[in-house]
Amino acid sequence: MSLRLRLALLYTLLLAGVLAVFGALTFVLVSKRLYAAVDEGLRAEAEAVEQAIGPGDGPLTSQRVLESFQRLSQLANELATFYVLDPSGQVLYSSVRGPALAPLPRPQEMPGYVTYRSHGQGIRLYLDPVVGEDGQVLGAVEVGQSLRATDGALSEIRNVIALGGAVALALTAGSSYLLAGRALAPVRRLAALARYIERTGDFRRRLPEPATRGEPKELVSTFNAMIERVERTLRLQAAFLADSSHELRRPLTVIRTDIDVLRSDSLPPEEQRACLDEMAAEAEAMGRLIADLLFLSREGEQAIEREPVDLSDLCREVVDRYREQADGHVLVADIEDGLWASGDRQRLAQMLTNLLENALDYTPAGGEVCVSLSRSGAWAELRVSDTGIGIPPEELPQVFDRFFRGREARAMRPQGSGLGLAIVRHVAEVHGGEVRAESEPGRGTTFTVRLPLLAR
């Protein structure tokens, strides 16, 4: 059974239970009140009849009834049905013609109120014994009333309750089925889309978001965000694979060409050597590329060694190594002492090297490159800034992507894989840190790496 049907049934059953309890309660209370009113009326009538007979000694006799005949006849016009009985149960006076309403037992045997029902008709009787001063039963007054009106009213009330209940139940069943259907519609659409994706592997479709806020909207937007992410990951992976293959094919082509050249017998020895050197360099580059790709594919703890690293010492070492190469650039270092981090010294050195090489590569001769290391709370802040070509705003969000190379950067330095900054970010992240870039095209760029300091 569908969830929708189950919800609708549950609501309807609940309402049916509540209606049944309240309906029965109402019916019982109302019928009690109505019957009590009938009994009250009967008692008052009996009293009126007794008063009409008037006080007297000894049992009721035809003589006494005759004496009060006028008053009794007057009452007979006003009241429904009454009898005056002698102590043996003989009818002395009857307000109606014809046989008695119900069999008349002896007064002594008769309980106060009694209901007779025959052929669907009900009669309520009240027998009021006339008792003398010494407690002796002198006779009785019996009053009766048809219950037709009361029973009719009660059956009307019962019909109204049943009909109203049935209408309420039908309305509830219908509306809860509709509402449950509407509330569950996003879930149905979501399941359909999930089935479609599972069947086709096509992640481009999205679900329309419901207009009203609430759980369904949240579910749909979370689902959309999830498939968006899956789609992006798949796209990036495909691009990564294509880019990696492309990057590896280039040195391979160079090596193949060199092999072809080497095969010709007439090659002078110095050209042979040049070919071999080129092959060695390309093989070296390929090896580096493969190592970089492998490193980028490793996550978290498995990516790095963990040991205390003197960042201040490491920065000085890297900067000193580049001071000689930085011909034509001004290389400034401002390094605070005694900053330690926990991590992989080699990878951290590679991170700074990549940043420093970029700064030198993309800053024309005469420009300034500055490396600074300082403490900022519980963090070490490593900053590499230059006065170079800068990064256009539309390229800035992509510079950390694998294989991304800027347009101007390509023109300035044709070789390069575009993995440098991807490695920088990966190193920062596996050390529990982060990196960000700020740049003004034509004026310069600053990369800031934050790494958690080692508490010593």
Ligand X SMILES: Nc1ncnc2c1ncn2[C@@H]1O[C@H](COP(=O)(O)OP(=O)(O)OP(=O)(O)O)[C@@H](O)[C@H]1O
Give Rg (Cα) of the chain. Answer: 53
Q: Which of 352, 386, 385, 382 is nearest to 450 (CA)?
A: 382
Q: According to the binding rule CB under 6 A, does residue 369 interact with ligand X? A: no
| Residue 87: contacted member of ligand X, Mg ion, none (CB under 5 to 8 Å, by partner type) | none
Distance CA 166, CA 19 (A): 9
Nearer to ligand X, 351 or 373 (CB): 351
Applying CB under 6 A, what is the total number of residues that bind ligand X? Answer: 22
DSSP codes of every residue in 404-425: ---HHHHHH-----S-HHHHHH
Strand partners, 453: 341
Q: Which two tokens stand for residue 33?
A: 């009140």
Residue where the block lists tokens 């037992």: 105
Tokens of 348: 């951290």
**Stretch near ligand X under the rule CB under 6 A, chosen from 67-75, 231-239, 280-288, 381-389:** 381-389
Residues 52, 45 contacting (CB under 8 angstroms): no
Q: Which does 161 bind (CB under 5 to 8 A by kind): Mg ion, ligand X, none?
A: none
Query: Does 406 engage in binding with ligand X (CB under 6 A)?
Result: yes
Q: Compute the least distance from the CB of residue 439 to ligand X, in Å.
A: 7
Dist CA 118 CA 122 (whole Å): 7
Comparing CB distances to Mg ion, the nearer of 81 and 358 is 358
Q: Counting contacts by CB under 6 A, is residue 258 touching ligand X?
A: no
Contact flag: residue 388 with ligand X (CB under 6 A)? yes
Binding-site member from 359, 380, 382, 430 for ligand X (CB under 6 A): 359
Task: Decide if residue 371 touches ligand X (CB under 6 A).
Answer: no
DSSP code, position 397:
G
Q: Does 345 bind ligand X (CB under 6 A)?
A: no
The tokens for 268 are 């002078």
| Residue nearest ligand X by beta-carbon distance | 406
Minimum CB distance to ligand X, residue 407 (Å): 7
Contact footprint for Mg ion (CB under 5 A): 358, 420
**Of positions 190, 331, 399, 427, contacts ligand X by CB under 6 A:** 399
- Closest C-alpha among 232, 220, 233 to residue 194: 220
Q: Name the site residues for ligand X (rule: CB under 6 A).
A: 354, 358-359, 362, 386, 388-391, 399, 404-406, 409, 416-422, 445
